[in-house]
Amino acid sequence: MALTHSREDTPRNSLAPPGLSHGLQWLWQHLVHDRHPHILECGPVQQPTLHVLLSRGVKLYVADLITPVQQNDAVFWSRQGKKPVFLSADFLAQLPAIPPESLSAICCWGLLDLLPHEALPSLLERFHSCLQPGGTLFCILREPQLAAGAEARWWFESLTVLGSDSSMQKPYPYPALTNREMERLFPGGNVKTFLTRSGRREVLGIK
């Protein structure tokens, strides 16, 4: 059975106070018996994140996929036709060599809000292939009414408290993903969602 909560059926107590992440609370409880989880960090890694995860015994892979799309790096676009085409294969080539089904978790942060929707199936299929059975993709998705904040940065203050810098007000480039779209995109559709008070959702895809 899929662990799926929509906006409508998410309990009101899933509304986390600032900083505290109910999604991360769930994740680390899920990994409580994994002494040395293997985790992929998809953002620009911050020193607090390194300290928190390495202290937990994590084997950490790092691939900053977020900064290039925040900066709209031209190297990942083909503009030869009438409509620009995102070069998904070139983008995914930034990932390190990760053995299939080896990751306990992937910290995707706000990456899915920054990519064209047509690029998401190949990205999520790749992430899914890297996760071990029971592995989890953790990401943050904006609500439709949150129009700006595409330059937000995220890090671990502790295993269950998120630090963030969302002071910049760059608009998001694409429409917000719905919960139903996320269920369709993540292979298997096993998705769990927590609301926050920040206009964002914490979404976990479980393999």
What residue ranges do the domains of the chain occupy? 12-206
Residue 13 pLDDT greater than 50, yes or no: no
Mean pLDDT (whole number) for 191-207: 94
Query: Per-residue pLDDT for 14 more than 50?
Result: no
Give the residue carrying structure tokens 């900083």.
19
Kindly state the helix (H) or strand (E) to which residue 194 belongs, with its residue range.
strand 191-195
Beta strands in the chain (DSSP E): 38-41, 59-62, 77-78, 85-86, 103-109, 131-142, 153-156, 162-165, 191-195, 200-206
As a three-state string, the secondary structure of 63-112 is CCCHHHHHCCCHHHEECCCCCCEECHHHHHCCCCCCCCCCEEEEEEECHH
Token pair for 32: 């409580």
- To the question of pTM greater than 0.85 for the whole model, the response is yes
Does the pLDDT of residue 12 top 60, yes or no?
A: no
CA atoms within 13 A on the CB side of 78: 9
170 neighbors 151 (Cβ within 8 angstroms) = yes
Contact 91, 127 (CB under 8 A): no
Q: Is 201 exposed, middle or buried (0-12, 13-18, 19+ CB in 10 A)?
A: buried
pLDDT value, residue 17: 41
Q: Give, for 38, the enclosing helix (H) or strand (E).
A: strand 38-41
Please give the CATH topology (third level) of the domain spanning 12-206. Answer: Rossmann fold (3.40.50)
CA angle, 26 as apex, 205 and 15 as ends, to 5°? Answer: 95
| pLDDT tens readout for residues 107-165 | 999 999 999 999 999 999 999 999 999 999 999 999 999 999 999 999 999 999 999 88
Instruction: Please tell me the predicted confidence (pLDDT) of residue 57.
Output: 98
Q: Is the pLDDT of residue 170 over 50?
A: yes
Residue with tokens 């977020």: 66
Q: Is the pLDDT of residue 7 over 60?
A: no
pLDDT of residue 61 exceeding 60, the answer is yes
